[in-house]
Chain A
Amino acid sequence: MSNLPAVANKQGVADPAVAAAASDFVTMTVADQLFGIPVLTVQDVLGPQRITRVPLAPPEVAGALNLRGRIVTAIDVRRRLGLPKRDANTPGMNVVVDFKGELYALMVDNVGEVLSLAADSYERNPATLDPRWRDVSAGIYRLKGKLLVVLEVARLLDLKVKRGAEAA
Chain B
Amino acid sequence: MDDLLRDFLTETSESLGMLDTELVKLEQNPNDPGLVSSIFRMMHTIKGTCGFLGLPRLEKVAHAGENLLDKIRDKELVADTTTVSLILESIDRIKSLLSVLEQTEAEPEGEDSDLIQRLNDFAAGKGAGAPAAPAAAVPLQALAATPAEPEPDEHGFVPVPAHKTAAVADAIASQNAAPPAPPPAPVPAPAAAKPPAPAAAKPPAVKAEAAAGESAVAASSIRVNVDVLENLMTMVSELVLTRNQLLQILRSQKDSEFAAPLQRLNHVTSELQEGVMKTRMQPIGNAWSKLPRLIRDLSHELGKKIDLLMHGQETELDRQVLELIKDPLTHLVRNCADHGLEPPDERRAAGKPETGKVILNAFHEGGHIIIEIKDDGRGLNIDRIKQKAVQNGVATEAEVAAMPDQQAAQFIFAAGFSTAAQVTSVSGRGVGMDVVRTNIEKIGGTVELKFQRGKGTAFVIKIPLTLAIVSALIVECSGERFAIPQISVLELVRAHGNSETTVERVNEAPFLRLRNRLLPLVSLHDTLRLGETRGMEDDKSFIVVTQVGNYTFGIMVDRVFDTEEIVVKPVAPILRDVPMFSGNTILGDGSVIMILDPNGIAAGSGASAATMSETQTAQTASEAARSEGERVALLVFRAGGQAPKAVPLSLIARLEETDAAQIEYSDGKPVLQYRGKLMPLVTIDPSYGIRSEGRQPILVFADRNRNMGLLVDEIVDIVEERLSIEMNNARPGMVGSAIISGKATDVIDTAHYLAQAFGDWFGKADQPFGGADTARRLLLVDDSPFFRNLLQPILQVAGYDVTTADTAAQALTLCESGREFDVIVSDIEMPGMSGFDFAETLRRSEKFRETPILALSSHTHPADIDRARRVGFTDFIPKLDREGLLASLSELGGRSAAE
> Which chain A residue lies CB-closest to B581?
A54
User: Is B419 part of the binding interface, using a Cβ–Cβ cutoff of 8 Å?
Assistant: no
User: Is B242 part of the binding interface, using a Cβ–Cβ cutoff of 8 Å?
Assistant: yes
User: Is A130 part of the binding interface, using a Cβ–Cβ cutoff of 8 Å?
Assistant: no
Question: Which residues on the A side are within 8 Å of B481 (C-beta)?
Answer: 52
User: Is B591 part of the binding interface, using a Cβ–Cβ cutoff of 8 Å?
Assistant: yes
Do A64 and B574 touch (CB < 8 A)? no
Do B578 and A54 touch (CB < 8 A)? yes
Which of A9-17, A22-30, A55-63, A113-121 lines the interface with chain B? A55-63
Do A66 and B580 touch (CB < 8 A)? no
Distance, CA A64 to CA B574, complexed state (A): 11
Do B586 and A61 touch (CB < 8 A)? no
Shortest A97–chain B CB gap in Å is: 12
Question: Which residues on the A side are within 8 Å of B870 (C-beta)?
Answer: none
User: Is B594 part of the binding interface, using a Cβ–Cβ cutoff of 8 Å?
Assistant: yes
Question: Which residues on the B side are within 8 Å of A61 (C-beta)?
Answer: 574-575
Distance, CA A54 to CA B585, complexed state (A): 12
Residues of A62-83 contacting chain B, CB below 8 A: 63-66, 69, 71, 73, 75
A54 interface neighbour in B241, B569, B575, Cβ under 8 Å: B575
Q: Mark B47-77, 1 if CB is under 8 A from A, else 0.
A: 0000000000000000000000000000000
Shortest B41–chain A CB gap in Å is: 46
User: Is A157 part of the binding interface, using a Cβ–Cβ cutoff of 8 Å?
Assistant: yes
Do B241 and A56 touch (CB < 8 A)? no
Q: Mark A8-46, 1 if CB is under 8 A from B, else 0.
A: 000000000000000000000000000000000000000
Do B572 and A102 touch (CB < 8 A)? yes
Q: Mark B562-573, 1 if CB is under 8 A from A, else 0.
A: 000000010011
Do B572 and A73 touch (CB < 8 A)? yes
Do A57 and B593 touch (CB < 8 A)? no
> Which chain B residue lies CB-closest to A65?
B592
Do B592 and A66 touch (CB < 8 A)? yes
Question: Which residues on the A side are within 8 Å of B529 (C-beta)?
Answer: 55-56
Question: Which residues on the A side are within 8 Å of B591 (C-beta)?
Answer: 50, 52, 66
Distance, CA A56 to CA B574, complexed state (A): 12
Do A55 and B530 touch (CB < 8 A)? yes
> Which chain A residue lies CB-closest to B242?
A69
Do B575 and A57 touch (CB < 8 A)? yes
Shortest B647–chain A CB gap in Å is: 39
Do B594 and A54 touch (CB < 8 A)? yes
Do A104 and B580 touch (CB < 8 A)? no
Do B573 and A100 touch (CB < 8 A)? yes
User: Is B696 part of the binding interface, using a Cβ–Cβ cutoff of 8 Å?
Assistant: no
Question: Which residues on the A side are within 8 Å of B599 (C-beta)?
Answer: none
Residues of B732-774 contacting chain A, CB below 8 A: none
Do B528 and A71 touch (CB < 8 A)? no
User: Is B590 part of the binding interface, using a Cβ–Cβ cutoff of 8 Å?
Assistant: yes
Question: Which residues on the B side are within 8 Å of A157 (C-beta)?
Answer: 574
User: Is B480 part of the binding interface, using a Cβ–Cβ cutoff of 8 Å?
Assistant: yes
A52 interface neighbour in B242, B530, B594, Cβ under 8 Å: B594
User: Is A155 part of the binding interface, using a Cβ–Cβ cutoff of 8 Å?
Assistant: no
11 CB-based A-B contacts, threshold 8 Å: A52-B481, A52-B592, A54-B578, A55-B580, A56-B528, A56-B580, A65-B592, A66-B591, A71-B585, A71-B592, A102-B572
Q: Apart from A56-B580, A61-B575, A71-B585, list 18 A-B contacts with CB within 8 A.
A: A52-B594, A54-B581, A54-B594, A55-B480, A55-B529, A55-B530, A56-B528, A57-B574, A57-B578, A63-B592, A64-B592, A64-B594, A69-B242, A71-B592, A73-B575, A102-B572, A102-B573, A157-B574
- B residues contacting A by CB (< 8 A) are 238, 241-242, 480-481, 528-530, 569, 572-575, 578, 580-581, 584-586, 590-594
